[in-house]
């Protein structure tokens, strides 16, 4: 910001002509800036300048009220926030009202994702999937597979899964037993198949 730079140089005792040379601001502008109030916070000046840009928003008068509406009813839709000022005579655009609602709306906490952490070997994760395989002779086959991993284990047990007539739960338990035997790691509470 040139104005702040000019004021800083003048405050350091640099002559007007030197300030003009250094900053590229005319001598007359440097003299005018010398007569202005000093800038305390350049960021605040930039913020005020940005607020003054463009035509003032007609919906700005409803900002505080819209904040109250949204705090009272956070589920209120932006379209409903637009309806209320219109009932009071506001003739502004939808975009301005939607922008206002977005600015004053209290951010909702993210949806609940619950993850249970346990000791190594206490939980195991099982995934079923399928992949389309193309062989060298050009034939294709959809292969169903199963993967199992004990929590915190570097070992993953995966094999081709036949999900035909068997129940998925029985298959999962059987594969968990095989995975335990293959990796040498046993869950804390292993199942026993009947």
Q: Are 73 and 80 in contact (CB under 8 A)?
A: no
Q: Is the pLDDT of residue 190 over 50?
A: no
Q: Tell me, letter by letter, the H, E, C secondary structure of 28-62.
A: HHHHHHHCCCCCCCHHHHHHHHHHHCCCCCHHHHH
**pLDDT per position as a tens digit, 1-19:** 688 888 888 888 889 999 9
Cα–chain center distance at 21: 46
**pLDDT on residue 193:** 41
Bridge partners (DSSP) of residue 142 are: 132
Token pair listed for 180: 């335990």
For residue 48, the Cα-to-chain-centroid distance in whole angstroms is 28
Instruction: Give mean pLDDT, residues 24-39.
Output: 88
Structure tokens at 170: 């029985």
Q: Give the model confidence (pLDDT) of 140-161 as tens digits.
A: 888 888 777 777 777 777 777 6
Rg of the chain's alpha carbons, rounded to an integer? 34
Which two three-digit tokens encode residue 37? 């109030």
Greater pLDDT, 98 or 178: 98
Q: What is the pLDDT of residues 61-77, one digit of tens each?
A: 777 888 888 888 878 78
Residue 124 φ then ψ, to 5°: -135, 150
Q: Which residue has the higher pLDDT, 168 or 86?
A: 86
The C-alpha atoms of residue 52 and residue 182 are separated, in whole angstroms, by: 70
Specify the DSSP class assigned to residue 59. G
What φ, ψ does residue 158 adopt, rounded to 5°?
A: -135, 140
pLDDT tens for residues 162-184? 655 444 566 566 666 766 666 66
pLDDT of residue 85: 78
Which residue is it, tokens 């502008």? Answer: 29
Polymer length of the chain: 194
Q: Where are the domains of the chain?
A: 2-41, 58-104, 124-183
Q: Is the pTM of this model over 0.85?
A: no
pLDDT for 113-131, tens place per residue?
A: 666 666 666 777 778 888 8
Point out the least confidently predicted range of 42-46, 62-66, 78-82, 120-124: 120-124
Structural tokens at position 62: 């409803």
């Amino acid at each position: 910001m040139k104005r702040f730079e000019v004021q800083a140089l003048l405050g350091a005792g640099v002559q007007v002509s030197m300030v003009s040379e250094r900053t590229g601001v005319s001598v007359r502008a440097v003299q005018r800036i010398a007569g202005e109030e000093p800038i305390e916070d350049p960021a605040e000046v930039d913020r005020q300048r940005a607020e003054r840009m463009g035509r003032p928003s007609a919906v700005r008068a409803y900002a505080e009220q819209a904040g109250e509406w949204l705090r009272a009813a956070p589920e209120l839709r932006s379209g409903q926030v637009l309806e209320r000022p219109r009932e009071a005579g506001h003739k502004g655009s939808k975009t301005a009202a939607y922008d206002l609602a977005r600015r004053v709306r209290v951010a909702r906490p993210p949806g609940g994702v619950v993850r249970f952490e346990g000791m190594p070997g206490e939980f195991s994760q099982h995934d079923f999937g399928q992949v389309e395989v193309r062989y060298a002779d050009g034939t294709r086959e959809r292969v169903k597979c199963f993967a199992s991993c004990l929590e915190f284990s570097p070992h993953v047990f995966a094999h081709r899964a036949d999900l035909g007539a068997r129940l998925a739960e029985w298959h999962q338990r059987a594969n968990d037993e095989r995975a335990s035997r293959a990796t040498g790691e046993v869950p804390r509470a292993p199942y026993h198949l009947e």
